[in-house]
Structures are given as structure tokens and as C-alpha cells.
Amino acid sequence: MSADGKIYITISDSRESEIIKGTKINAPSEGKKEKEKTTTSDFIKHQFFNFIESEAKQMVNYTLGNIGNFTGDYNAQRQVNFGLSAASVITNIGMSALAGSKFGIPGAIAGAVVAATSQAVSFGLQLRTQNLEITKQNYSIGQLKQLSGLDGLTNGSRI
């Protein structure tokens, strides 16, 4: 708005050092180079911090994933893996409830229920796959016993 109370609109392809009509005030302008440098440096900072965060997570996951290999304590490795899995499940359910909370309390409940159901199905499938693998291994062991003559109960050989 100028000093005479009127609004003047100027259409131009140049944004540098425009003078507001009816006044001696220059329109605020930010140089394109300054803006580009700011966004480039912000982008570089953002990428650097993402890189550092990614590398830190990778180191922690590698260390936690190899406790059994480093120390020989495979029971501790199994417990750590179980704890990480439980934390992941709880986090997923919590994040789903948080996302659903945008639609109020019923949305939060629905999000948590859907996530919990998904995690339960995933756990059931994983358990079924593990049991199937154990069955396959036991069958293979039985076949090797038969071929090598170590199955004294069924083939009459001495062990």
C-alpha cells in the first residue's frame, strides 16, 4: 500500500531492486545467488547428518547382530534379537496408533488394532516357517542316519 492509500501491482520479469510506485522504498529482494547458496548449504548439511545417522545405525545394528559371533554367547544373541524384535513391534503399533490419532480416539484404536493384527499374522507366519525348517532338518538327519547305518533302532545294525 502506498502513501496515497492505493494498492499498486507491478508485473515484471525482474525482481531485483523494484521501487514501490508512489514511494521511494525498494521492494525487499533476496538475491538469487544468496538464496541458492543457502539452499545448497542446507541441503549439504541435511545430507551429511543423514549420512552420519545412517552409519551410526548401521554400526549399532552390526554390533548387536553379532554379539554371538564376537563373544560366543549365542543365548545372549537370541535374547538381544528377541528384545529388538519386541521393541520394533511396540514401536510399529505405537506409530500406527499415532497416525490413526489424526482421526480422534477411534482412529488411534483402529490404527493400533490393525498394526497389532498385522504383527500377529507376521509372527504366526514366521513361527510356521521356523517349524517347517526344523521338520526339514530332522528329515534330512534321519535320511543321513539311514544311509550311514547309524539308525540302529530301525535297520538292525549295531552302533
pLDDT tens per residue across span 113-129: 999 999 999 999 999 99
Give the structural domain span for 61.
Answer: 31-65
**Which contacts (CB < 8 Å, 24+ apart) does range 63-67 have?**
none
85 and 36 in one domain?
no
Amino acid, single-letter form, for residue 133: E
**Within a domain: 155:** no
Is residue 23, in this structure, part of any structural domain at all? no
pTM: 0.51
Residues 41-54 have a mean pLDDT of 91
User: Domain for residue 118, yes or no?
Assistant: yes
Cell numbers 493384527 correspond to what residue?
117
Q: Are 119 and 138 in contact (CB under 8 A)?
A: no
Report if residue 121 sits inside a domain: yes
| 88 and 124 fall within a common domain | yes
Q: How confident is the model at residue 73 (pLDDT cuts 50, 70, 90)?
A: confident
Q: State the number of CA atoms in the 13 A half-sphere of 118 facing the CB.
A: 12
Mean pLDDT of 87-98: 93
For the chain, what is the domain count? 2
